[in-house]
Structure 1
Amino acid sequence: MTTAIRREAPHHNTLTCYTDFNCRLPECVARYTDWDRNRRTRQAEGTWNNLVDATPVREHIRRLMDAGVLPSRIAKASGIPLQSIRDLVGDGWRGFRYRTSPATAAKILAVTEADATPLHVDPTGTHRRLQALVAAGWPLTHIDRRLGYKRERMRKILNEKVILGSTEQLIAATYEELRALKPERHGVPKCYAHQARRRAAAKRWAPPSYWDKYPDAIDDQHFEPMYGVSRREIVAQDAHWIMRTTGLDKSATAARLGVDKSYIDHAFRDHPQYAPKAAA
């Protein structure tokens, strides 16, 4: 038995699913083929690396940030990956980006403060940021106090289906401020920090270090975080998805996942919520 597991892509609207997750859905193959054909054509014409000075783009991003618009919101409004936004302003782990493509520049320059700060937003990213801070040892009551909110406000936000855009920005800014700090050195008693971490672990809330690996996924409601999930549960989830969407039986599904059929049997036994009603 091998240990290789093919993970499904978190989304299918960029080239990532094809290049990083080996996705071969027809529409994703067509998207990559079109991109590659365009790349080859532009390389032959000598226009593939036709980059422009990123200074106007960087200044525009900084003006938006000075107005209170967070990089994550700029990324969402422009459709540009968050890491690319960070790189352009010199806050990325890959270094400072001095040039960018005309298409990227146009998308970012088209973002206005009004576009980037809607009245109401999906709370997925806000929930995950609060959960991550708890996983790092920040009790919700301490976050309440830092934001000047009444007690239990953060707990209520975690249960809300829609939140204000201004609330999202405030909590995202607080997340950026606290994510790398040790709570015990900033006013949180050690016992309370320990309780917060235990609570997060019990709920399998991912810490900031997990989201650092997926910077564009924290706001993506279609991305399913796998933090704290056992290998056997992952296999059960993947097998369920494959069998439901492709009609393959357990033997064929096991071959696709690179595991024995008996491993899928054990995975469904331990996690019956994923077992098909009529598994082959």
Structure 2
Amino acid sequence: MTTAAKRRQPIPAETFDHGDARRYRRGCTCRPCTDAATSEARRWKYLRETGRGGVVAANKVIAHVWKLRAAGMTDQEIRAQARLSPPHLYQIIRQGGTVRHTTATRILSIPIPEITGPSRNGTHVPILGTKRRLQTLNAEGWPCKELDRRLDTGTGYTAYLIRAAGDIVRYSTADTVRHFYTTLAGLIPEEHGVTATNARQTRARAAAKQWARAAYWDDEDFDNPDFTPALSDDDLGMHQLGALRRAEIAHLAAFNLSHAEIAARLGMAEGYVRDIAREINTGQKRIRTAGPAANESLGAAA
């Protein structure tokens, strides 16, 4: 025996204010509603006559919804401001494709609120930024077990987030990781309860997986799917590579690490680190002398 599908109840006209074309389509014939319906019909006719459809791609609309969720807005608040029914909002997010121009305008006009602190929002956001922040902490030498302890979660939770196959995560989780990353940024694991061996092994595993370290990121880049950090020297020009190495050395020198410790951590020659540190401290560029091969070539040219 099969059960008939439950029909969705129509939205009553009273749901919408007078002056809304949707109220007119539900039977209200007052002057404001009639004028709104006439204006909408004229606009659609104009778009068709000028070769423009009444629908637009949903990409920007979906991206804006993600940003609103990431800023802490609930789906109920988004629907209320955009004047959408629950099925309509979820249909846009899940199916993509196109949406009516009027619908897109209402959603895109919702301002993104300022993030004021941790949230328990249960909606979902892309997991990319969460993964990248945890991977970066690994690359800096923070083992997953230590991250679990500091987050007060079950063992293996951060490793699970890093390996997660899905594309989304609860906003509350993403927000917790975002604030957590901020608290650990700039701290040296060996000085905060992580043994030198564990830190070294964690950095080595992260390097083998090509996870970028903190110096390669700006905060807004973590959540940007179009940004990929340059992980090899081949991806950078000479000046870009030099600037990046200076930034890494300056960052570690600020924690009073010795030149030898910085060189070991970054995989650079101690003399190179010493020269860059001197440049940073004195503000004077070091004098670069040509190597033996260069001198021989100059002599041959003469």
TM-score above 0.5, yes or no? no
> Larger radius of gyration, structure 1 or 2?
2
TM-score by length of 1: 0.41
TM-score by length of 2: 0.38
